[in-house]
Structures are given as structure tokens and as C-alpha cells.
Amino acid sequence: MSSNTIEAPLSETAERRAVVGVVGQAPDPRWVIVTRGVKREYDMGGEVVRALRGVDLAIGRNEYVAIMGPSGSGKSTLMNIVGCLDTPNGGEYWLNGQLVSEMSDDALARVRNKEIGFVFQTFNLLPRATALHNVELPLVYAGVSSDERRRRAAEALEKVQLDKRMDHRPNELSGGQRQRVAIARALVNNPSILLADEPTGNLDSATSEEIMRVFETLASTGQTVVMVTHEPDIAAHARRVVVLRDGLMSTDETRDAFVARVGHSVAAL
Amino acid sequence: MSFFQAIRLAWDTIRVQKLKSFFTVIGVTIGVTFLIAVVSIVAGMSRYMEDDLVGKLIAVNSFSLRTRPDFQVGDATQAQRAEWRRRPRVLRSDVDPVAEALPPTATWAVESESSLNVESPYASPRRTQCSTITEQWFTIKKMGVTLGRLINPQEYANGTPVVVVGQDVADHFFPNLNPIGRELKIQSIPYTVVGVADKQGSVFGQSLDKFVLAPERSPLNRWVNPHGVIDAMIVQGQDDNSMREAMEAARATMRSRRHLHPSQPDNFELETSENALDFWNKVKGYLVIAGIALPTVGLVVGAIVIMNIMLVAVAERTREIGIRKALGARRKDILNQFMVESATLSTLGAALGVALGIGFAKLLAAVSPLPAAVEIWSIFLGVGVGAGVGMIAGIYPASRAALLDPIAAMRQET
């Protein structure tokens, strides 16, 4: 496996190289996520851990991308930076034309609210709130009026076929239903990207397939989806697979190329 | 997130965690209860002292010329007491020269009193406060009678053995009888009851209706004071100014009669209602300090309890805070959420405290002689202080919550 092997169509690859290469300039609007030499180091009791060592990544609008890598590869760190939960120590990160890497905490909160819909492995729903209230939450922080919130939250739950379970609390829902509530919550504010962190990590394979179908539907209707996973068969649902290793991008290839390369291990799973 | 939403969120949390919320509010409730109760009682006593008591004991716009202070209860020094004892007594012969020096609008009366043995055929003998007075006394004291009549000018002039008695005296010595025209023996000398005075009420459980009044020239005068000595000359002006004027006239006359050098202090007392209130104001000062100190202790304890419980709440809800931040809550939103929560709790506690405090004050007023008057400002103060304590106690836990890193917060197990 060579470093930075890009097996995407040549024109697109060249374009990607071009967009990540021009430091300090806002990328063309068709690129939702652009990282240029993103570095992240942690000080762990005197020992410096270099989680990301310069990642160049460009994700276009409507793409469905899986980020893979073994534990310690830096994929969680990249996910946190892409999700605006963390900021890089070096390099720049442009999200939807905004230079996020230079933003204050409150500005980041605003970006998370408007631009990003999170789906987590552990669902991260508020246990005491109903499904409807959980879905309303991002709208609360967006300053949407309560009638409008209710309407939009109900609509989002309808999209994931949970309109009949709006008044249930998370502990009254199955794992798959919980994750669908989380997806509804992620989508309710019409974000630029849907960011999923091991979305099937806590689900059985049948339910995982069900959630992947929801993602597939979303991607096919034009939603940009970025999914972090360590399971190749889940990554194989995306149209493009990026693999990280030791804080650097190892491969960036189409789904077909990924399956062809690691097909035997996917089949084995 | 709007303020209203923050309150709703706080209310939801409080509803879900009833027991914890109860313990949070209890400190503030106790503090505010104390505050309201103490303020109400002090205010009630104050109003009572100023309006009722002093008005009754010392007539308005009046002063009394006495040997030594009558109302100076409390912390007089040993030397001061010795000086009072050395003073010459005020004499009956001082009265006329002083009266002559007074402005023509001033009225005056003489009063001497002693506790004497009083008996009637209908009841057991009892020691009772007996006074001899001169004609203007009832006018100055604004006292009338409910039964019979006042002592008339001839009786004052002749020293007729007649008495006007207080309500309690009439009730005791003439149970279920009309006392008018009946006989009362004071130190074995018979007096005819001509009137029963208006009910004067009580002060701190002490009845003000236990008195017997007789003309100065009646035989009673022998018993109330050594010959030629009086307890007090009461002078009343038409208003405060004329009272002051009369006071200065009386002072000048007394000083010249006693041949006091300008460097020497007065060796007599000119006592006004202010003197009586001085004592009360001193007591009130202590009460107000106690009334502030006790609730403050309660509120500080309340603040510590709230701070602790909010810190626990922040720790317990770390994951929730992380989720909220990931979904776009700014520091300010999280700060507001916890501040409003603790402020709502403590305001609730304060409101409860106000209700309890009023109830407590009313109860105390009902079962004890202590009066109570609920001051409107104290209600606002109580609620305001309660809310303020909650805010202050909430600052630290809320800022801890606001500064949490969302990644670490969401990773925390709950």
C-alpha cells in the first residue's frame, strides 16, 4: 500500500490536488470540506502525541465518503476536526467556504449548529427527553420559534419513519430506532454535511443494514455524508473510501477500487 | 436560546429531580423565612412602639420634668446611676415657677405614683399602681372614661377622695358590678369610684389598664411621695416647636432655681417621647442586626448547598452538556442553562420562604404578645436575595459546565 494512492478518475483527482494545494485561499463552493496539511498534536503528560501529521482532504458536495483506519490512525481526531469539535494545531480547514481552523469556540458552536449533523455510535440522545424534543434540540440553539421547531422536528422524524414514536423516550426505543432519531436530529437543521462516527458500532448486523439503507437514501437525494468506521463492510456502502494510517492519509479511492483491493477481507466478514 | 426557554428547561429538570430540588431550596427557604419573620416582627414592634406605646405612655408633643429618667432602661453606667441618685428631687414648689415661665399655649399637669394596697368588699386586696394628678392630666393624655365621669374641678380643688380606675382594676375589684359610686379602699382610706377609664390595651403582655387616679390634693397624695415631692410635671405644647420652646423655658427656670453654674450639667431630667424611643431604637438596632445576621447565615448555607448540588448536577450531566455543545450550544447557552436552573430553584425557595415567613410572623403574633407587620419591601427583598444567592451559587458550577470540552464530555459514561 503506497502513500497517497489515489485511484479515482484522473480529472477529479487532479482537481482535488489543485484545491488542497492552494493554501490560504477559499476553495470553490463545490468543495464542502477542504483540509490543507491539517496537524493535531496532544500533550499527554509531557509526551507529544502526533495524532494527525498533515492531512490533505477534499470532499465535494453530494459525496458519500467513508473514513477508515485502525485505532490510533487519527480517524477520530480527523472526525472531531471535521465536525468542528476540535481545532487543528497546524494547517487549515475550510468548511462550506468558511475558514473554521481560525474560529473561536462560540463561532465553532454556531458552525456545528448550522453546518453539521452528527450521528454517534452511542446515539447521544438526551435520556429524559422525548424523541421529538431530542430532534428539536439543534433548532433550540438555532433560535427557531417553538411552533416552527415542532413542525420541522416532526417532519424530520417522518423522514426516518418514526413519526409514530415521537413521544417516546430513548429507553422506550430499539437501538435502530434510537439511531434513526439521531439521524433525524442530525438532519433537522439542513446541515451541509452529515457526519457519522461509527454509526453502526452499537447495532446488530440487520439493524446496521437498515441504518445503511437510510444513509444510502440520504446520499442519493444529494446529502453529503461523511462516515467514520473501522468496519470495511460498512465502509463499502460509501462511494469513496479514505484510509488513514499513523496520522496520514494512506489511500483515497472509489468504493469499487476499495472493494477490489480488500474484497477478500470484506467477503470474509 | 431565549430566557423563557432556559426557564422552561430549568423547570423540566426540577420536576424530574424533585427530591434534589427540595434539598436545594430548603437552605434559601430557611434564610428567607427568617428574614421575613424577623423583619415583620421588628416592623410590627416598631410600629407599635412608635404609634401605640409611646403615644400612650408619654403624650404627643409633651415632655416631663423628672428627677431622673423614667425610660432609660438598659445600659446606664454605674457612675450615671450614682449621679441620678444624688440628684435633688423635683418639688411641688418647683411647679408654679416653671408653669409661669411656660408659653401661654402650653398645658401642664403634675403626677406622682406608687404601688399601694387596694381593697374592695368584692375581691382580694391587690397592690395597684396609684397616682395623684392635677386637672389637665386627662386632657394631655387624651384619656376619657367609658363609665361614669372624669374628676371634676371642684374635686381637684377640694381634694375630694374620688378615683378614676383602669378597666382591669374595675374588673378585679367589682366583678360583674357597676363600679360607679362604689367604694375602693387605698391604704385603708375609702375613695369613691366616679369613672372607669377607656381601655388602654397592653404592651408586651403588660396591661396598661391597672391604675387608680385621684386628685393631687386627696389623701392619697400622702402615700405616693414624701411631702412636697412630685414624680413628674408633664408639659404639653401645641406642636413640636412649642414643646421645644416650653422645654427650654422649663430648663432655664429649673437651672436658676437650683443655682446651676453654666458649666454644670442639668441635675434634673426633661424627658420626651424621643427618650423613650431612644431605648427602643437601640433595641431595634440589635434586632435588625440579628434579623440580618441570622438569615445571612441561612442564605450562606443555602448558597453552599446550591453550589454543591449544582456541581453534582454538572458532573452528572456532563454527557448531556457535551451533546448540547456538539449540537450547537454556545458557552453562554450552557452557562445560562445552569444559572437559570439554580436561580429558578432558589427563587422558588425564596417564594416558599416568604410564605412561611409571613405565616410564622402571623402565628407568633397570634400566640404571643409580639406584634407583627409584614413589610411589602421585605417580600421583594426576600425574593430578590433568594434569586441573587442562587445566581451567585450557580456561577461557579455553571462556568465549569460551560467550559467543558464537548469531546471529553460526550465520552463520559453516565
Q: What is the DSSP letter of B208?
A: S
Distance of CA A129 to the CA centre of its chain: 24
In this prediction, residue A267 carries a pLDDT of 47
pLDDT tens, A110-131? 999 999 999 999 999 998 889 9
In this prediction, residue B336 carries a pLDDT of 87
Backbone phi, then psi, for A89, in 5-degree steps?
-80, -25
Q: Are A115 and A138 in contact (CB under 8 A)?
A: no
**Which run of H or E residues covers position B8?**
helix B3-16
pLDDT tens, B262-301? 999 999 988 887 776 777 777 778 877 877 787 788 788 8
* DSSP per-residue letters across A205-249: HHHHHHHHHHHHHHHHTT-EEEEE-S-HHHHTTSSEEEEEETTEE
Cβ contacts (< 8 Å) between B327 and chain A: which residues?
112-113, 118, 137-138, 141, 185
Which residue of chain B is at minimal alpha-carbon distance from A133?
B9
In order of their start, the domains of chain A are 61-84+105-268 (3.40.50.300)
Evaluate if residue A213 carries a pLDDT over 50.
yes
Grid cell, residue A31, equals 468543495
Evaluate if residue A254 carries a pLDDT over 70.
yes
Evaluate if residue A7 carries a pLDDT over 60.
no
In this prediction, residue A4 carries a pLDDT of 44
In the block, residue with C-alpha cell 414592634: B45
pLDDT tens, A42-54? 888 888 989 999 9
Cβ contacts (< 8 Å) between A140 and chain B: which residues?
1, 5
Alpha helices (runs of H) in chain A, residue ranges in sequence order: 10-21, 75-82, 105-115, 131-142, 146-159, 175-187, 205-220, 232-235, 255-268
Of B319, B326, B330, the CB nearest to A106: B330
Cβ contacts (< 8 Å) between A113 and chain B: which residues?
327-328
Q: Are B5 and A120 an interchain contact pair (Cβ–Cβ within 8 Å)?
A: no
Of A120, A142, A146, the CB nearest to B328: A142
- Cα dist from B32 to B45, B117, B358, B378, B392, whole Å: 20, 50, 10, 9, 16
C-alpha–C-alpha distance, residues B42 and B287, integer Å: 7
Q: pLDDT 10s per residue in chain B (414 long)?
A: 567 777 777 777 777 777 777 877 887 888 888 888 888 888 887 777 776 666 666 667 888 899 988 765 556 788 888 888 889 999 999 999 999 999 998 999 999 999 999 999 999 999 999 999 999 999 888 889 999 999 999 999 999 999 999 999 999 999 999 999 999 999 999 999 999 999 887 766 678 899 999 999 999 999 888 888 999 999 998 888 888 899 999 999 999 999 999 999 999 988 887 776 777 777 778 877 877 787 788 788 888 888 888 888 888 888 999 999 999 999 999 998 888 888 888 888 888 888 998 888 888 888 877 777 788 888 888 888 888 888 888 888 889 888 988 888 888 765
Distance of CA A245 to the CA centre of its chain: 18
